[in-house]
Amino acid sequence: MTMAAVRTTTDPLLQPFQLKHLRLKNRVMSTSHEPAYSEDGMPKERYRLYHAEKAKGGMALTMTAGSAIVSRDSPAAFGNLHAYRDEIVPWLRELADACHEHDCKVMIQITHLGRRTGWNKADWLPVLAPSPLREPAHRAFPKTAEDWDIERIVADYASAAQRMQAAGLDGIEFEAYGHLMDGFWSPATNQRDDEWGGSLDNRLRFTNRVLDAVRAAVGADFVVGVRMVADEDLAAGLSKSEGIEVARRLAQGGKVDFLNIIRGSIETDAALTKVIPITGMRSSPHLDFAGEVRAATKFPVFHAARIQDVATARHAIAEGKLDMVGMTRAHIAEPHIIAKVVAGEEHRIRPCVGATYCLDRIYEGGEALCVHNAATGREGSIPHVIARSEGAPKTVVVVGAGPAGLEAARVSAERGHRVFVLEAAPHAGGQIRLAVQNPRRRELIGIVDWRVAELERLGVEIRYDILAEADDVLSLAPDCVVIATGGLPQNPPLAAGDELATSSWDILSGAAKPAERVLLFDDNGGHQGMGAAELIANAGSSLEFVSPERFFAPEMGGMNHVPYMRTFHEKGVRVTINTRLNAIRREGNELVATLSSDFAEGWRAERRVDQVVVEHGTMPLDELYFTLKPLSANTGAVDYEALIAGGPIFPQRNAEGRFTLFRIGDAVASRNIHAAIYDGIRFAMRI
């Protein structure tokens, strides 16, 4: 018996699970989520390839949509699929067929969003809810659902379920946390005094009507489940005892086949991070609770909430807490988790570091992206498994071992090239090394550690403590030179006092200690300034955070904003928006920061502090690039059209050039981790 066969028969994660007539080949799934890859509300090629990759990677069940909407007056809040349209059927059939090729079952989550959307979208129909209570996150003031609303929405659920069945999907689940269905369950959102409110029987009436209509539409054999909140963890909300009673009734009702358990509320960003924790927060915080529900109901239970590593997932199954374990964000980072477990390469799984760029990016940029897997969501153009180059191996010199350089080196080596990495510091990581000086974000080092381990496996040498000059590079006789030297912090434009400013890097690195009274001016809007602010506040300083934006930290999504804001409130940080730092001067032992306004010409204010910290991105470290540029065959040029559409990307501009040269990441311009890694893979794929 092969070792892979032994693992398949002994590893709890790899044991099959029988769900009604479905045989799920192992215990790992990706729970429903909306990556916002839809086009016109349809799951076209990008959507299909995303799920097919995870199927190829070995999981037993992929849940699509988060959620697909059943009615027109539930307009998409974040790229949701349109389950109310017949056109969705052939697109979902293609997706299901692509996953079934790998023996991966496919289900979909359907819902009416209720108040969790906006009225000024799509057809501009009013948002509705059981009671006219506004959801803070999406801000719409809903109308109270009337009898005719309920009748048509119940019918819409049934019609949507029929479409999903016609598409050849293996089942559906209803979304019942933060949406219309559980809006009826919760005393916090259901204040009705008619047959739809009051007693638990009444609050469950809408759910039971939907279940009856759906079963009448799809029959008894089609798999139907509920992703449900079983405890809102909210004083006025659905209690744990009532939530478990709802679960028990659903399990005993004979109308559903599984429960997918959630704990918490999602009506604010702060509440959402308790349901879906980010880096620095607890892993698998609700696993034991889901196990309690399973024990109380003796019914198939699924669950996902920051179960990001195989050991925890294995524990969840082995201890009988879950029947199917959701590793959703973990599969965004690494869609081939199960394939690597089966192959005995668990140590090679790309880790989910909890950055939650995936979720925050949906709202900030309209699509889910992994902070350090640039292939996710780009399966049509970027491979998850790097194939060897069909051409002759080349010598590639990468200067810089930050995220961009490490990724370029990894991909080049996977393609069979001989790779050297030259790094000025005594260790790899670049600016990630700064980010993890904030203890709460130390998991981000996984981005570096995984790549360093992969380079070691591939036999790539990283030469540390080399501040590379042209001769260092040329002595290696390169065919290709990759400049990934990053950048150095720069001050914002100041009328005076440049030399008096302290950079955010100095704070993050520990080179400068926070003073007693600090003003921090953030003219970037990302983690850099906020991270420095968090360290300053936690050091006990009196801090004023100043931003020229109308809302601060605009480059950061709502979920990542939460722990920063918690610190700001706990430590008494003062936030000033719509204000610029104009100049700094010294008066005695104090610094005087002059502030100005974009909105009121001539307006000035002053702050007397001990330290002024500034964040204004980075300026590229590009001296080596410009030294090598005239010696290169392409003089550093890149054909962007070919980069996007295909074909050779390095034009021949210098007949005497001995190598191809390009730069990536912050060596080009100040950006973020994902941009650096995306540069690294898409350029290195073309060497």
State the greatest distance between any 2 C-alpha atoms of the chain, in Å, as a whole number: 84
Pairwise CA distance, residues 255 & 218, whole Å: 11
Mean pLDDT for 641-660 is 96
Whether pLDDT at 8 is above 90: no
In this predicted model, what pLDDT tens digit does every residue of 510-527 receive, in sequence order? 999 999 999 999 999 999
- Give the Cα separation of 560 and 309 in Å (integer): 21
d(CA 250, CA 524) in angstroms, rounded, equals 49
State the pLDDT at residue 640: 97
Looking at the predicted structure, is the pLDDT value of residue 4 above 80? no
Mean pLDDT over 101-116 rounds to 97
pLDDT confidence of 5, banded at 50, 70, 90? low
Kindly tell me if the per-residue pLDDT of 486 is higher than 90. yes
Give the pLDDT confidence score for residue 7 in this predicted structure. 67
Residue 1 has pLDDT above 80, yes or no: no
Among residues 410, 386, 396, the alpha carbon closest in space to that of 687 is found at 396
- Is 33 a residue whose pLDDT tops 70? yes
Nearest to 523 by CA among 431, 612, 430: 612
pLDDT for 77 equals 87
pLDDT digits (tens, 9 = 90+) for 584-633: 999 999 999 999 999 999 999 999 999 999 999 999 999 999 999 999 99
Report the share of the chain in percent with pLDDT over 70. 99
φ, ψ of residue 228 in degrees (nearest 5)? -130, 145
Count of helices and strands (H, E) across the chain: 24, 27
Distance CA 678, CA 378 (A): 10
Q: Is 661 left (phi over 0), alpha (psi -120 to 50) or beta?
A: beta
